[in-house]
Amino acid sequence: MNVIKGGVTAPKGFLANGMACGIKRSGKQDLGLIASQVPAKTAGVFTTNSVKAAPLLVSMEHIRKGVGRAVLVNSGNANCYTGPFGLRYARQSTRLIARLLGIKSTDVLVTSTGIIGKSFPYNKIASAAPALVRGLSPNGGLKFARAIMTTDLKLKEIAVRVKIGGKTVTIGACGKGSGMIEPNMATMLGFVTTDAAISSKMLKMALKKATDKSFNSITVDGCMSTNDMVTLQANGLAGNKTIAKDGVDFKKFYAALEFVCVDLARKIVLDGEGATKFLTINVLCAANPAQAKKIAKAVANSALVKTAAFGNNPNWGRVGAAVGSLGIKGITEGTMKISFSPFDKKNIAITVELNLGKARATVYTCDLSYGYVKINGAYN
């Protein structure tokens, strides 16, 4: 596997564009579109928040058939808590893009990110859509990545190539997210494209597994968003034999996909609002994987642990208290070993070793600084 330059348009047959349509008061880019030149197998994962933004409800309907062509994204307005009008505008957006691309509206996914509870500016999107579609380009990935940013300070994209069945397969991706990050799915969006030929069943399996290892293993502030979504589109243009079962080809594809997703997830944490430190929380010797991740998340979401990291203070008592707060039978101060890497470095590892079994989990997070409070105290 080789890391190459690019993002969502690195695989064959994918076009993208991004532009400003006036949603953001700053005048920055706020509307993006990815389109495959041919039908693409499509899978997605969505926030588990019971309050879901209107575009997610529409995308969850459209993705059921497992085939799609385009993803429309706006930033600056979440289209959440917008009632029946928000849902109507989300549907109209898919019909608009479908008409301009000459495809079915159910082949279009739509999502939004930004401020919750503001009226959705559909007219601005409708006015800009023709130019957005005309500007689709195999070099438009960077424009798309810029258009989906909100409080992000850095662009987040990656692409890799891997040989599968004698053919070169490319996976490209970009994402956004900086705060309100506590996935089970964060205001976090991820878009992954590939020219691999793979069945819908295996595509869904790969995305779910990769998401568990990446986007669902990060946290910035423990706050779950209403708008999280990750999509994976595969258009088959690499020409490899269709991956239809769990074999050598699937393992190669999955390894590359997990690498891409973990890279994006780490970039989201590194760009956490006000973040100055990157924390890796390792839990070892737990009774089962679910328990290990639950413990790692408890440590990662502890405001006391995160502020200690900001203050270069290796306070192991705060880690022990976070683990103990879960009330797991068999965990006491005598059965738990806590270790740290140096706390005065940018990258910090915290390891909790239990005596309950052989399971392990890793969760990524960042510190909690004055900057986080400043950013979120003024965000509206």
| Active site residues per annotation | 187
CB atoms near residue 333 (< 10 Å): 10
With CA atoms as reference, report the closest residue to 176 among 242, 264, 282.
264
3-class SS shares of the chain: helix, strand, coil, % to 5: 35, 30, 40
Treating both helix axes as pointing N-terminal to C-terminal, what angle do 54-62 and 83-101 enclose, rounded to 10 degrees? 50
CA separation for the pair 227, 230 (Å, rounded):
10
CA separation for the pair 28, 224 (Å, rounded):
26
With CA atoms as reference, report the closest residue to 297 among 201, 131, 184.
184
DSSP state of 367: -
DSSP state of 242: P
Q: What is the dihedral of CA 278, 284, 287, 290, to 10 degrees?
A: 20
CA separation for the pair 234, 250 (Å, rounded):
13
Structure tokens at 316: 């192991």
Q: In Å, how far are 77, 137, 252, 332, 374 from 164, measured between CA atoms?
A: 40, 26, 7, 48, 48
